[in-house]
Amino acid sequence: MTLDTPKGTRDVLPEQKILRDFIISKVKEGFETYGFLPLETPSIEMYDTLASKYAGGSEILKETFKLTDQGKRKLGLRYDLTVPFARFIAMNPNIKMPFKRYQIANVWRDGPIKLGRYREFIQCDGDIAGSSSMMADTECIALAESVFTSLGLDFEIKINNRRLLNGILEYVGVKEKDFNSVIISIDKIAKIGEKDVREELINKKIPDKKITELFSIIKTKGTNEDILIELKNKVSNKNANDGIEELEEVFNYSNLMGLKNVKLDISLARGLSYYNSTVYEVYLINSKINSSVAAGGRYDNMVGNFMESKTQVPAVGISFGLDVIYDAIYDETKLKKTLTKVYIIPIKTMNEPLKLLKILRDNKINSDIDLSQKGVSKNLDYADKYGIPYVILIGDNEIKAGRFKLRDMKTGQEEMLSEKEIIEKLRNK
C-alpha cells in the first residue's frame, strides 16, 4: 500500500496550522464584533438541495462530490456555505429577521487542481438575511475593513452595483437576455485582459462598437463622487439610477462609519449570476497576491426561491478566502513552529520537574517536558528543533538552591529563578 493524501488535499503541519488558526481567530473575532452569530450546518447536504436551480449552477454542480448513505439517499458534500445557509433559512421561516450568521468551515470541489486550488478548502462566510437596507451591505464592507486592518494588511475594497452595470449595458444597447452573460465576461477583464474579453463578447454576438463604448464607460476613473457624477451625466435609465442611488447610500453609511478603503470600480462584476445589487471584492496593495482575498454582494432572489411560499428574503454576504490570506501573510522566516513556551529538562529526578510542570500549566503557561529520558544536550536539541523559546533545567544543584535554571533558547542566556519569578516572567511573554 502506498500512503498518500487524496489529490487536491493536503496535511497542514503545525507551523502552518498555527498561522491558519491565527487568521481564523481574527476573522471569527471580526464576525462576532460585528454582530454575526455562529451557525453550523452539516458537511453533507441532500443532493437535490445542492442541485436546485436556485443554487450554485451547473458549473459548480459538476465539481460536487456525490455519495450515498446506507438508505441509498443521494447526498453531496457542500461546495459552498451560501446554499446551505439559504436552505437553513428556508427550513426556519420563523427565525427573527434580520438574521446575521457566520460559518467557518470546509467546502469541497472536485475541480481541476491549479496552483493554489484545493479540492477541500475552508470558507469563512458572513451573511445577513432579511434586510434590504444598504446599511446591511455596508456592514459587510465595514467588517472586511476591520478584519484586514486587524491582520495588518494594506488593502482596497472595490465596490460596484449590478443594477448600475445592467443600466450601462442597456445604455450601450446590449439586450436584456444577454446581461448576465456579458457581466460574467466583464468579470474576467482583470484576470485575462481586455483583448480576450472583447473576443469573448464578439463570440457572444455583441457588436464591436457596443463593446468599445462599454469598455470606455467601465474604465471611468476618478474619486467615487467624480465617477458617479460622470455616469449620471451620461447614462440615465431606471436601472442605472437605482444602482447609483444604492451606491450613494453605501458611500454615505461608509463615510459615517469612517471607512477609508472603499473604491468604486465600474468594471467589477463578480462571476456569480445570483447577485442583483451591490458587489464588492477586497484586493491587497503591495502584495504578491493578485486575486481577491474576500468578496461578496447582495443576492435578494436566492433564499426565497428555496421556500415553498416563495417569499422574497433579501440577503447580502461576504466570504473571506482563508488560503489566499494565508499565502499573503505567509513568511517562512517568521513562522511560529510551536505554541509551547517552555520545555522542562529533568536531570536525574522527576519529583520537582513534575511539580513545577503542573504549576506552570495551572498558570496557563503552555509547557512541555522530556518524555523519553534523553540527556541534556539531546533535550536542548529537541527544544531548539521545535522552536520552544525557553527551557528549564532541574537537577540536584537547582533543587538544593530552591531555584531553577531558565535558559533563553534564542540568546543562550541562563538565569537562576524561583518558581514565582519564572511564572511572572513567562506569563507575560
**Minimum separation from the CB atom of position 341 to a copy of itself (A):** 9
- Nearest by Cα to 51 from 29, 86, 92, 83: 83
Comparing CB distances to a copy of itself, the nearer of 13 and 192 is 13
Largest Cα span, the chain = 91
208-218 and 162-172 helices, crossing angle to 10° = 140
Minimum Å gap between C-beta 80 and a copy of itself is 16
CB burial of residue 174 (10 Å; 0-12, 13-18, 19+): buried
In the complex, minimum distance from the CB of residue 343 to a copy of itself, in angstroms, rounded to a whole number: 8
d(CA 180, CA 35): 33
Query: CA angle 289-293-297, nearest 5°?
Result: 145
261 or 292: whose CB is closer to a copy of itself?
261
Cβ 171 to a copy of itself shortest distance, Å: 32
Q: What's the DSSP call for residue 176?
A: G
- Considering beta carbons, is residue 101 or 162 the nearer one to a copy of itself? 101
User: Which CB, 281 or 368, lies closer to a copy of itself?
Assistant: 368
> Least distance from C-beta 18 to a copy of itself, angstroms?
6
- Smallest distance from a copy of itself to CB 121, Å: 10
Nearer to a copy of itself, 233 or 372 (CB): 372
Residues 120 and 264: beta-carbon distance below 8 Å: no
Q: Smallest distance from the beta carbon of 419 to a copy of itself, in angstroms?
A: 14
Are the beta carbons of 138 and 254 closer than 8 angstroms? yes
Q: For a copy of itself, give the closer residue by CB, 110 or 242.
A: 110
Least distance CB 117 / a copy of itself (angstroms): 14
Least gap, CB of 284 to a copy of itself (angstroms)? 22
Give whichever of 35 and 57 is closer to a copy of itself, judged by the CB atom. 35
CA distance 141 to 135: 10
Q: Which is nearer to a copy of itself, 165 or 360 (CB)?
A: 360
Shortest distance, position 222 Cβ to a copy of itself, whole Å:
26
Beta carbon nearer to a copy of itself, 168 or 262: 262
Q: Which is nearer to a copy of itself, 236 or 351 (CB)?
A: 351
- Tracing cell 442611488 back to the chain, one arrives at 245
Are the CB atoms for 270 and 318 separated by under 8 Å?
no
Cα–Cα dist 146/2, whole Å: 46
- Cell representation of residue 274: 445570483
CA distances from 368 to 86, 193, 421 (A): 46, 54, 18
First and final C-alpha spacing in the chain: 46
> What one-character-per-residue DSSP string does 265-314 give?
-TT---S-TT--SEEEEEEESSSS--S-SEEEEE-TTTGGGGSTT-----
The Cα–Cα gap between 144 and 159 comes to 12
CB of 244 to a copy of itself, least distance (A): 20
Pairing of strands 278-284, 294-298: antiparallel
Residue 153 vs 303, nearer CB to a copy of itself: 303
Of 301, 313, 300, 274, which is closest to residue 93 (Cα–Cα)? 313
Q: Quick check: 271 and 296 in contact, CB under 8 A?
A: no
